[in-house]
């Protein structure tokens, strides 16, 4: 951090290395688990929900900051705003921020342990480990070929949902399992577009991802399958909740909105899958993937929030 850096420069740089734009689409991760696990709106609105949400955002920010710190050389080639943000703050400052975040995370996890939320604590601690080993040397799983997507698939797209679920539940049920599998595949499918986007830069840095192992074309086909199949499974998972529990809607408007959101989200998933398939069918995949990756924030928001609304409608209208 230089003496000339203003507070706004520092704040802007921190938001950049924390992927603030991407994080606009991340609240559904913890909220979906909490809402699907809660049996009443009053239960969901209890203080423990807020504590878990704060923990989640610390975990995701921690992971993003580490990723930017260890990806400076790669980001200099294409995502210069990220490498510039790290340099503006200074690597030592970023390391200090990461340490403070880790300490805060461990404090909250300790509180959850002492208050009896053992499974959520274990999953959150696992998320902390996944967030670190994905980017940090010497493990750096993101460059470990076939293993590269699993810290994100599990640590970012599965554990936060299950952690929220186990705040209110003690065992797994069919609908949460179906939902988690679908939700993880949906989000990983979209993320694989970013994997293909970084194909050239990763190769130059010796980072091996699915795009290098299976080729960009095949990885984009996997992205299409994961996104479409996963999105539909996630919708089915939400629908299975009232079916499995045996609840019925007592509010006609809630039932209409629930069905409407299900239909809208189905069309959204199909549209996103179609966009990914089209991007993976172009002659120059490096150009098409970089162009398609710009839609990722929109895809995340438009696929996750309708699921969140569906889950919320179940909680307040069943």
Residue 27: the pLDDT is 94
Residue 200: the pLDDT is 87
Count CB-CB contacts under 10 A for residue 57: 16
Residue 248: the pLDDT is 61
For residue 151, give the H/E element and its range: none
What does the pLDDT look like over 142-178, one tens digit per residue?
888 889 899 999 999 999 999 999 999 999 999 999 9
Q: What sign does the CA torsion over 129, 131, 132, 133 have?
A: positive
The rounded percent of the chain whose pLDDT value lies above 90 is 67
Q: What sign does the CA torsion over 223, 224, 227, 232 have?
A: negative
Burial of 286 (0-12, 13-18, 19+ CB in 10 A): middle
Residue 182: the pLDDT is 98
What's the token pair of residue 107? 């404090």
| pLDDT of 296 above 70 | yes
What's the token pair of residue 16? 């950049």
Across the chain, what does the average pLDDT equal?
91
Q: Residue 1 — very low, low, confident or very high, per pLDDT cuts 50/70/90? A: low
What does the pLDDT look like over 221-272, one tens digit per residue?
999 999 999 999 999 999 998 877 766 655 667 778 888 999 999 999 999 9
| pLDDT of 2 above 60 | no
**DSSP string across 158-181:** THHHHHHHHHH-SS--HHHHHHHH
CA dist list (Å): 261 to 99, 258, 294, 309: 41, 5, 25, 7
Is there a contact between 17 and 82 (Cβ–Cβ < 8 Å)? yes
């Amino acid at each position: 951090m230089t003496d000339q850096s203003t507070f706004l420069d520092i704040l802007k740089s921190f938001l950049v290395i924390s992927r603030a734009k991407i994080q606009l689409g991340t609240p559904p991760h913890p909220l979906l688990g909490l809402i699907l696990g809660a049996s009443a709106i009053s239960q969901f609105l209890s203080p423990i929900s807020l504590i878990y949400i704060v923990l989640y955002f610390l975990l995701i920010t921690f992971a993003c900051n580490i990723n930017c710190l260890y990806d400076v050389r790669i980001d200099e080639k294409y995502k210069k705003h990220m490498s510039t943000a790290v340099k503006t703050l200074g690597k030592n400052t970023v390391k200090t921020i990461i340490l403070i975040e880790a300490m805060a995370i461990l404090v909250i996890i300790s509180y959850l342990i002492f208050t009896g939320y053992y499974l959520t604590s274990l999953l959150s601690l696992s998320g902390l480990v996944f967030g670190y080993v994905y980017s940090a040397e010497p493990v750096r799983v993101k460059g470990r070929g076939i293993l590269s997507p699993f810290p994100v698939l599990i640590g970012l797209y599965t554990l936060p949902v299950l952690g929220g679920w186990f705040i209110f539940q003690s065992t797994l049920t069919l609908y949460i399992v179906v939902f988690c599998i679908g939700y993880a595949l949906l989000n990983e499918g979209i993320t694989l577009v970013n994997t293909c986007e970084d194909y050239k830069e990763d190769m130059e840095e010796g980072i091996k991802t699915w795009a290098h192992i299976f080729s960009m074309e095949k990885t984009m086909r996997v992205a299409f399958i994961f996104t479409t199949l996963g999105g539909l499974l996630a919708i089915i998972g939400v629908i299975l909740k009232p079916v499995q529990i045996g609840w019925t809607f007592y509010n006609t408007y809630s039932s209409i909105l629930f069905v409407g959101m299900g239909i809208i989200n189905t069309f959204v998933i199909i549209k996103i899958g179609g966009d990914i398939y089209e991007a993976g069918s172009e002659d120059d995949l490096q150009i098409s993937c970089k162009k398609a990756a710009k839609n990722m924030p929109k895809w995340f928001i438009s696929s996750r929030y309708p699921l969140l609304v569906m889950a919320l409608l179940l909680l307040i209208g069943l």
